[in-house]
Chains A and B, each alone.
Chain A
Amino acid sequence: MTFISIEFLLFFAVIVFTYYAIPHRWRWVLLLAASYSFYASLSGYFVFLLLTSTAFSYVTGRLIEKQETKKQKKKVMLMGICVLLFLLGWFKYFNFVNDSVRAISAYLNWNYAIPYQEIILPIAISFYTFQAVSYLVDIYRGKLKAERHYGYFSIYFAFFPQLVAGPIERAKKLLPQFKTEQTLKYENLSYGMKRIAWGFFKKTLIADRLAPIVASVYDNPDATGSQIVLATILFSVQLYADFSALSDIAIGCARMLGIKLTENFKQPHFATSIGDFWNRWHITFSTWLRDYIFVPLCKGKKKRSEIYVAIIITFLISGIWHGAAWSFVLWGLIHGFYRVFGDHTKQARGKMASFTYLDRNPTFHKWVKIAITFLLVCFSRVFFRSDSVTAAFTNAKLFLTPSSWSPSGIIEAFEIFSLLDLAIFAFFFIVMQLFHHVERKNASTWNWLSQRPVFARYAVYVLIVVSVLVFGATGQGFVYGGF
């Protein structure tokens, strides 16, 4: 049962109805049963791994709190994190490490006997492990008390709207909301349904329509440079639509239950720098990395060069988190390099903007920065999308070849679309951009829309729902669902 299915919508409708029909004291049982059923439908027996990780984190949290000295607390916390990371490492990275060691051994003519192991990656393990780590660290830091109620704690670990791909929430934010009696509110139901519909719109009309077109280029060993350029730009649009749709549906579902989740995206493709991009893309993951990796790494550092090392390590971890492959490692390192290079050349770029009079037209200057940032992000995504490091370098070379960017070549590359697909994509892409435009001007498109006449408002709602029903493409999983 995936988010994009009638089964899920029916399942969720039953949960919402029952949630508000039963007394508050029983709702945690309902949410927990719903969360485990949902996870079991996706990941089968791995629900037992989720149960084990939950029980382990619960006990470790209590143990940290019981220790008398800071040193003892730290010891228990580190032990707990090591166990959680071992589980993540075993399921997600065993074959990555194993294959890498085997390749090195073969290169050095060493005998290495451990064969490839058939290990299935449990869905959402990267997400719930990060939530568990933040829980243990926050208890150690004294920012959070260990949760006593096992039921509520288990929901924090497995809350079905955000279990599969976030937003990655902190216990301090989520647990009190589960414990508060949520009353049935029209605005929560209305807002939640709109966010879910918008998620379906982005997923079925943008992401899943683009996915086979992008794949047709990336799976083709004879793809031209212009096709790679176009497919990479389209992949950026696909990835944003795919992942932000997942967050929209998660936020919408939670809101219908009275729970407010953290926003995960703020129009990342309109970022004016790489630093700005990471403040807008997968925000809960970026802040997690900042709070639990980057800031501790920066402790006591008083030179920019030392901060640069912390940046590179943080982005390296970000890359490894995304996937067990060297292409993801390289993708992370590219972003680390961008960030460091951007900081190091800040003054020179400022002078350049002044020399070229760019800074005299702030609006134009801003759009130049947006375009450059977007292209840098696109280049990094060649590594994100390619199936192997060899393919990534081949595609990256094509992406950087000047002739790949010739207007005639790019126009020709649009042949990867059928005329109908292109028309449908163009129409819904423009609708998405209009939505973003209104959001940039008014902070919330939904609030802006609610102030329009009833006819206009419902015309938009009907357009979204009918478009999904008539033109929506399904059958693709979520990209970030695989992490």
Chain B
Amino acid sequence: MKNIEKYKNAFVEALEIEEDEVGEGLVLGETSEWDSLGHMILISTMEEAFDVSLDAEWMSEFDSYQSGLKLLDRLGVDFVNE
């Protein structure tokens, strides 16, 4: 499975939302599923999916679909040349 698919699946699994709801417009706090507690579940799911560790500082940075991609990219997850 490609990393971008793993990334989208993590949202679906953690936030219990439909696949077509996962996209660039997804922002923390703007849907009832992605609230502060859902965020903790999403972080755990991302950590397991990509074998990374996200601390509190990075967790605050991860506040949208897009910023999550950038953050994981910085941690060595390749979404382009895989």
Which A residues form the contact surface with B (CB < 8 A)? 141, 143, 275, 290-291, 295, 298-304, 307, 310, 343, 346-347, 350
Contact = CB atoms under 8 A, between A and B. Distances in A.
B45 interface: yes
B19 interface: no
User: B interface, by DSSP: helix, strand, loop or mixed?
Assistant: helix
Contact of A303 (B41, B47, B56): B41
Interface of B: 14, 32, 35-37, 40-41, 43-45, 47-48, 55-57, 59
A307 B14 CA distance: 13
Contacts of B43: 298
Given A300-B48, A307-B41, 12 more contacts: A143-B55, A291-B55, A291-B56, A295-B56, A302-B45, A304-B37, A304-B41, A307-B37, A307-B40, A310-B40, A346-B32, A346-B35
A211 to B, nearest CB: 35
**Across the A-B interface, the 3 shortest Cβ-Cβ residue pairs:** A291-B56, A298-B40, A295-B56
Nearest to B55: A141
A299 B44 contact: yes
Contacts of A299: 44, 47
A295 B59 contact: yes
A351 B43 CA distance: 28
A372 B35 CA distance: 21
29 contacts: A141-B55, A143-B55, A143-B57, A290-B56, A291-B56, A291-B57, A295-B40, A295-B55, A295-B59, A298-B40, A298-B43, A300-B44, A300-B47, A301-B40, A301-B41, A301-B44, A302-B14, A302-B44, A302-B45, A303-B41, A304-B37, A304-B41, A307-B40, A307-B41, A343-B37, A346-B32, A346-B35, A347-B32, A350-B32
Nearest to A311: B37
Contacts of B45: 302
Contacts of B55: 141, 143, 291, 295
